[in-house]
Structure 1
Amino acid sequence: MSCHGRKIKPGRAQLCQRWTVGLRPDMLAAMEGPTDEELMRAAGAGDEAAFASLVRRHQDLVYGTAYKMLGSYHQEAEDVAQQVFIKVHRAAPRWQPQAKFTTWLLTICRHCVFTQLKRSKRRASEPLEPEGADGEPAESPYPDPEARAADALLLEEEMRRELEAAMGALPEAQRAALVLRQYDQLDYETIAQVMGTSVPSVKSLLFRAREALRSRLHQYLHET
């Protein structure tokens, strides 16, 4: 069975289906509605529709963050996303808003990513071979390049793969900080909360991550 175009394990399919039927995320994002905190309180009181709204609202954020942190492994990212929402659902009855909901949500996501990396016995510094939803190499995220020259296309694809490998070679903390900053567009204070560290530490992680990427991609940066 699939959920929003992604394969779901049979044991969790019914749970995902119950939570995610209804509005598409883009439709829901265009509408004004209850805040995350209001939905979470309602979910804690047993309102499954409220929890379904939370899942629809944030599933792309959680999946995308896990996907980037794990190094473009679709199935592992899918597993992490499901684990995150299961943990949120279980925590709902006793949840107390000590931080912004998305900060708390991404903190859970980061912990689940750590657990997944340990479970798969894959080191965070291990170069990654990204894959798509069907297990094949991931497609380029760039727009359809029909009008571009063939040599430019080859260079672009080579650079994309090198960037994926460079991201995969980063220590986990550096990669996580970079994903939260560049992909999720979080400020330093929020990243520090998610990672359980200080703002100076976050800035240091980002600096080292960017320097590592710049060094590895030096050839491409000078060609473009």
Structure 2
Amino acid sequence: MLNPSSSPSDNPEPEVGWMARIREGDMDAFRLLVETHQARVIGTISKMLGSDAEAEDLAQQVFIRVWRSAPRYQPTAKFTTWLFRITRNLVFNELRRKRHFSDQSEETPEPIERAEKEPDRVLLGEELQNAIQAAINQLSESQRMAIILRRYEEMPYEEIAKVMGTSVPAVKSILFRARAELRERLAKYLN
């Protein structure tokens, strides 16, 4: 609930006002919220799962969860922290579900096929991007989430800690280990 001494309009985050309106069933406020955050949520999920189609499906679940949670929403932290915590929980649930029902081994990216002759530099750039994504996909769930939130979402350590339900020193440690693993896996590209 909102603090009785403040109104949604006093808060610099428009999401707080939108959530108050969504609590009352306002579909226009919900549409604004989804339009504002959908791309970031889908992007984060896609980087975690490696599939755009799955990312869109899971993003729908994230926003359904936001709608259903609106009556209990407390603006005690940034809205995006709350939103990405929901995203994180659903992604981790999906990864656990996949691991439970799948016997598949580590997937490796398929080699780049050229339909036409391209400059070596472009191919090297694509190869590097594929190698980076493959290396990120091999990280543990928590390392992958921390890297994505820090690198792609540009979140500060404090917000990542809130999203992940841990401390700032723990986030820094997770990122340190993740970067070390990435450096090791990408060594041939870094020299």
| TM-score above 0.5 | yes
Partner of 1:196: 165
State how 1:1-224 maps to structure 2 within 5 Å. Answer: 35-70=14-49, 72-121=50-99, 127-128=106-107, 150-222=119-191
Amino acid in structure 2 at the alignment position of 1:74: D
Deviation at 1:128, TM superposition (A): 4.2
Inter-CA distance 170–84: structure 2 relative to 1 (3 Å threshold): same
Q: Could you tell me which amino acid in structure 1 is paired with residue 90 of structure 2?
A: C
- CA deviations on 1:2-50 (whole Å, 9 max, x unpaired) are xxxxxxxxxxxxxxxxxxxxxxxxxxxxxxx971100011110111111
Shift of residue 129, structure 1, vs aligned partner: 5.1
Q: CA shift at 1:178, angstroms?
A: 0.4
3-state secondary structure, aligned to 2:144:
helix
- Contact 1:128/1:164 (8 A) holds in 2: no
After superposition, the C-alpha distances for 1:65-124 in whole angstroms (9 at most, x for unaligned) are 111122x2112211210110000000112222121111000000000101111222279x
SS class of match (2:133): helix
Contact 1:127 1:168 in 2 (8 A): no
Q: Judging changes above 3 Å, is the alpha-carbon distance between structure 1 residues 108 and 34 closer, same or farther for their aligned structure 2 residues?
A: closer
Q: Tell me how many residue pairs correspond in the alignment.
A: 175
State the secondary structure of the residue aligned to 1:51: helix
CA RMSD of aligned residues (A): 2.7
Contact 1:76 1:116 (C-alpha < 8 Å) held by counterparts:
no
Residues 192 and 60 of structure 1, relative CA distance in 2, 3 Å threshold = same
More helix by share: 2
Identity rate of aligned residues, in percent? 51
Task: Specify the code of the residue in structure 2 equivalent to 1:119.
Answer: R
The alpha-carbon distance between structure 1 residues 84 and 129, as it changes in their structure 2 partners (threshold 3 A), is farther
Scaled by the length of structure 1, the TM-score of the pair is 0.71
Q: Tell me, which stretches of 5 or more residues in structure 2 are unaligned?
A: 1-11, 113-117
Deviation at 1:151, TM superposition (A): 1.9
CA distance in structure 2 between the partners assigned to 1:213 and 1:118 by the alignment:
23
Question: How far does residue 153 in structure 1 lie from its aligned partner after superposition?
Answer: 2.2
Q: 1: CA distance between counterparts of 2:143 and 2:39?
A: 22
